Chain A
Amino acid sequence: MRHRYVPQRGINLDYLMWLFTRISGLGIVFLALIGLASAMYMGARMQMDLPTGLRWTFLPNPNHVINSNIPDVTLGWANAFWQIMQYLIVFFAFTHAANGIRMITEDYVGHTFWQPFLRAFIALLWIGMLIVGIYVILGSAY
């Protein structure tokens, strides 16, 4: 006989992650708006056009997607403000994503023998992606 698993009421992982998903989702949107506003504010002195501002906000990575017509994002991360913005976005995005993958897989797998292994694998993936993302940002700050 199978029983349907009902989560406990009160503060538990599911509730906290439910809350975190909302907060981090709003946080990413908010950070994107701050980034766009700051890019426009800082770039106005250099007559920066809109595509450059968008590139600086959303894809400020000097190592990848580099052959676009939009110049000069190499200096983007040589600045503590943009580095902190990127760390926050990386942290919020990967945590949001890892929890999303956990929820989707557990909808299909359920509370079976495999659940702890899947959770451990996703946690490992989460830590690994955080480390690689932060390393790329740190390593690009030349």
Chain B
Amino acid sequence: MAYGKYTGFKGWLYKGSTPYYGFALHRLTAMGIILFVGIHVAASFSMQQALGTWGTTINIIYESWWFQIFVVFCVLFHTLNGMRVVILDIWPKLIKYSREAVYLEWAIFIPIYALTVFLIINGALSAG
């Protein structure tokens, strides 16, 4: 995003197609992971040192199935998209196949994520 240009809501309608949505999702999932890992470390510290009960409260949220679905989406997408970026950066000749790289990324992402979500929901239903 160019510095000094406030794109606002129209920024989301930018016709950059699939790589742009990957860029936006990469940032959003990054913020998700930072939130998840930051709170996880803080809550670990709190529960280790027995600083009140808020660590236990966060523990309940972290063990709920909907939160795990969100976390798996963030981590898996950020990893795969990051690997795509790294591979295209290391071998710039492959940039002409960038669209195919995005399709390949989703082709890897969707089966793994679908299986994980199935297992999480299956476990949640059988446990509850």
Contact = CB atoms under 8 A, between A and B. Distances in A.
Interface of A: 2, 4-5, 22, 25-26, 29, 61, 63-69, 93, 97, 100-101, 104, 106-108, 110-111, 129, 132-133, 135-136, 139-140
B62 interface: yes
Interface residues of B, number: 33
A125 B47 CA distance: 20
A5 to B, nearest CB: 6
B3 A5 contact: yes
Given A4-B3, A5-B3, A104-B27, A63 B38 contact: no
Interface string B25-45: 001001101100110111111
23 contacts: A4-B2, A4-B3, A22-B89, A25-B83, A61-B40, A63-B47, A63-B48, A64-B44, A65-B40, A65-B62, A65-B63, A68-B63, A69-B127, A97-B37, A100-B30, A101-B34, A104-B27, A104-B31, A107-B1, A107-B3, A136-B44, A139-B48, A140-B48
